[in-house]
Structure 1
Amino acid sequence: MSIKDIKTIPPIPLKNIPDPWKEVFQQLNQVPPPLPICISPVHLNENMPNTDEKTVLYFSGKDKSNLKPKVSILSILAEVSEFGHELSNHTLKLSLLNQPAIQLHADMLDADWRIELYLLVKKLWNPKLKIPVSRKLAKLYEPGSNQLYHLLQLCITCFDSKHHLSQHYQHAAGWFLNIIQESKKLDNQITIENEHKGKAPIIKEMREIVAQMRDGKNPVNGKISPHYYRLIEVGLSLNKPWSTNKSYWEAFISSSCQRIQAIEKPTCQETFVKDNKLVRRAPGPGRRTHMIISI
């Protein structure tokens, strides 16, 4: 498979989507910016080493593709000068984004998000909406889309509950959008790290998260994902025997379990970058991989 074989997922049609949800999907339709490599400092330190008329590249080591990227080193220079370190003794750990395949992987994950959102719009507002992938492929995305559906319903219920944490938002749609954006940001971080640990630790962590929610605990880090943290806090407050909205919380937990079960199946495979190639983990014992795309 080559990069030319990748099918682009078009923007989600906004027909029949009511406000303010239409504004949410307008934002989610936007093409995400390229992943960042290096952020320049706001203020330059006067002690910053002089690199004029010099070609300086720093590497933490060549990757197996022997790729030699050119990146801005301003932020590292600022860090070095701030702490009084010698530049020659400082190791710059470059992001794996120097491999084009990392960006491609991020783009493909964004396409996964868009397919799930297509299915969500079809279910809620536009039953005649054509999904831009085969039926067989779309079926694989249904557990994820179903979880998004119950997440959306929980956002509406929690917002309407008038809980004090819901006052951070003008409407449930804005709450939902912020949670999706948080999730996408976390996806990007995982893509950049490119650790490819296998599915087992991911599934274990997901099961532990659901178990804590069932025990009445909030497992979400409020500093990393404040919007999702607030939703779980309000959702837990609804999970009381006398609450008329308890069913929305239970449905969300159930959809999360179904998502985990789908990930456990062989049809869901771990993808990552290796030797500047996008590969997937072969099902079964061993650490074999199958190439998806070579750049």
Structure 2
Amino acid sequence: MTLGSGPRELVVLGTAGAVPTRERNHNGYLLRWDGTSVLFDPGEGIQRQMLHAGVSSPRIERICVTHRHNDHCLGVPGVLNRMAQDRPGRELTIHGPQDAVEHLHGLAVVAQANVRVRVQGHPALQEEVPVADVAGSALTARALDHRVPALGYRLTEPGHVTFSREALAAAGITGPDVGRLQREGELRGVRLEDVSTRRRGQVFAFVMDTRLCPAVGEVVAGADLAVLECTFAERDVDLARARGHLTAAQAGDVAARAGVRTLVLTHVSARYRGEELGREARAAVAAAGGRTTVHVAQDLDVVAVPPRRGRG
């Protein structure tokens, strides 16, 4: 099912929890962003899912892994071999927590693919850690709370200033003075906000296996599109806490309070139907007074990043 189209969109390759089912493949999420692609948490079978989804491996510049559990990274060897078939000798960076570096190196070695792989480990800190530049947007990570060190990822586009030609003409500002006004914020009594509109950049957030903790809300704060796990229903909240996961209601509540525009729920345990989890998440959004749109992902869904908003 396609929810939207455009150059910025999420292709859902797999949505199962620890165990795949007849309807759900292991994890896998591809973010298309301004001509490049980032692959998140490729579990087993993702190479085949890429074929079903029409995903082109040459556009994948990096793989981001949240933690070293195999349902989130066992697909790395197959993906590397696919890349070697499509473009031999290419370069690729795999990101993950420092705790996962040895494991990710091993997966790359097992692949024996003609791909120049760089595995980059990042510290799991209670603050944003720079990861990479993705087509001019900043990819960062911070620690979550799972049974092993885990990272949540956030991709933030810089804000933009759009000038009004009419307002500039009325203020008598032309040529190089336009750039000076943008740099200094005020020129000859004219303020930048008087002749322009500030448009916030888009934000994408990705949170997989974690207990509910303040970091979840911080990673997804103000996100236009956020992917959150919802392994358990609220009736099993104690089990979720013990195993280091979120419930659907917790995901909905935190997304609503953080101002997420579209929430994609995934990592669904085989014990549930997606409809039940969707109802719980939507009820939590309503109870929090939020306006978040909730979508329970199915394999091969394509979800567009919502269009940019104006001032902000």
Pair in the same fold by TM > 0.5: no
Normalized against structure 2, the TM-score is what? 0.21
Q: Relative contact order, CA 8 A, sep 6+: which one is greater?
A: 1
User: Who wins on radius of gyration, i.e. which is larger?
Assistant: 1
The structure with more helix, counted as a fraction of residues: 1
The structure with more strand, counted as a fraction of residues: 2
